[in-house]
Amino acid sequence: MDTNSIESGDRHLRVLITGFGPFCCGGVSIPVNPSWEAVRLLNIEALQRNLNITVRVEKIPVVYNHVEKIIPELFNIHEPDLTIHLGATDVEGGFLVERQAMREEYCYPDDANMYAPEKRIPIPGPPCVTTDMDLDLITKNFECDPHTNLPICVSDNAGKFVCEFLYYIVLNQREQNRYSVFVHVPLTADHEEIARFSHNVERLLHHCVEHVRQKDCYCL
């Protein structure tokens, strides 16, 4: 499939993409969060036209109780077929695509200097939830894409902060959305680097959309 354009008959997909706003944690201030800035720079009009999708974007505060409330609301409003969530990491390099999220051990205060209730996810669920997306295949296709210019790898440690907190809540909403991916991007305030992240997020979205449509075909 040519991921620069859609094929006739492709099912229209609703896509929700989120990034986090600025935050301060442990005395470290992040006034520019590259996760949201990369989302903000997406060429949404072209993505919608070329991929036959509807894209909605949302800036998320780095606050546990806000995430707990806003994620179910966004799912109810937009009814997404696919969600892609971006967060920032101090791990240098390229994209880290997260495979799973844990329910316990959220030991870091958020931007409001508050902790997760009892330092765990305050909703019922298993100790660990994983994405239904085949991340090994998606990252392989991304690496083979001549239009990408960033390293990518799969991670099993989403950081036990608001990022992983959000991802657990998302993955625990399987009755509303089967297909979700969380991507950590390196911390930077450099505009050119953030623009490069945004371009590569667009390419990753292409491969995720293709993957969802292929899985849909197998389910028919």
63 within domain boundaries: yes
6 within domain boundaries: no
Task: State the pLDDT at residue 153.
Answer: 97
Task: State the pLDDT at residue 2.
Answer: 44
Task: State the pLDDT at residue 62.
Answer: 98
- CATH value at residue 105: 3.40.630.20
Task: State the pLDDT at residue 5.
Answer: 56
pTM equals: 0.94
150 within domain boundaries: yes
3 within domain boundaries: no
Task: State the pLDDT at residue 9.
Answer: 65
1 within domain boundaries: no
Task: State the pLDDT at residue 48.
Answer: 98
Task: State the pLDDT at residue 1.
Answer: 40
Print the domain residue range for 22: 13-219
Number of domains in the chain: 1
Quick: pLDDT tens for 35-80: 999 999 999 999 999 999 999 999 999 999 999 999 999 999 999 9
190 within domain boundaries: yes
Task: State the pLDDT at residue 110.
Answer: 96
Mean pLDDT by 10 residues, the chain (220 residues): 55 97 89 98 98 98 97 95 96 95 96 94 95 97 98 97 98 83 97 98 98 76
47 within domain boundaries: yes
116 within domain boundaries: yes
For every residue of the chain, which 3-state class applies, written as one string?
CCCCCCCCCCCCEEEEEEEECCEEECCEEECCCHHHHHHHCCCHHHHHHHHCEEEEEEEECCCHHHHHHHHHHHHHHHCCCEEEEEEEECCCCCEEEECEEECECCCCCCCCCCCCHHHECCCCCCCEEECCCCHHHHHHHHHHCCCCCCCEEEECCCCCCHHHHHHHHHHCCCCCCCEEEEEEEECCCCHHHHHHHHHHHHHHHHHHHHHHHHHHHHHC
Task: State the pLDDT at residue 141.
Answer: 98
